[in-house]
Amino acid sequence: MTGRMEHDVGLATLVAQRLALVAEMSALTAELQRLNQKLSGIQIEVLRLQLEIGRNGRSAELVRDLHDAEENAEAIRQACTESEDRIVAIETKVADVDRALAEATSDNRGDKP
């Protein structure tokens, strides 16, 4: 294989890596949005239960439902944090690939001596 063909294969590999990372980041972002929407619904349920307890007093069922909702909210918050961490990690990988692409293409434009 000539040097030019190897260079083109290397560029194609970098572009494929970038596309895969962007697709993964997009999927994670969609999942994070779904989790945030679910969390919002649970937070509304927590508020509703708190209001009901405030109006009607504590009952074992209301307190249990409130506790369950708060636990669900915390689990979703944790899942959101994990998704955000994975997104940040992928963004770092995309930046690394972008740097490699810039370096690999800079000699094509005469930027390198």
Q: Round to whole Å and give the CA distance between 111 and 16.
A: 24
- For 47, the token pair is 């508020």
pLDDT on residue 29? 98
Q: Round to whole Å and give the CA distance between 41 and 44.
A: 5
CA 21 remoteness from chain centre: 12
Q: At residue 113, does pLDDT exceed 50? A: no
Q: Are 80 and 7 in contact (CB under 8 A)?
A: no
Instruction: Give pTM, 2 decimals.
Output: 0.79
- pLDDT tens-place string over residues 55-86: 999 999 999 999 999 999 999 999 999 999 99
- Summary mean pLDDT of the chain: 92
| CATH numbers and ranges of domains, the chain | 3-106 (1.20.120.330)
pLDDT on residue 6? 80
- For 72, the token pair is 């669900």
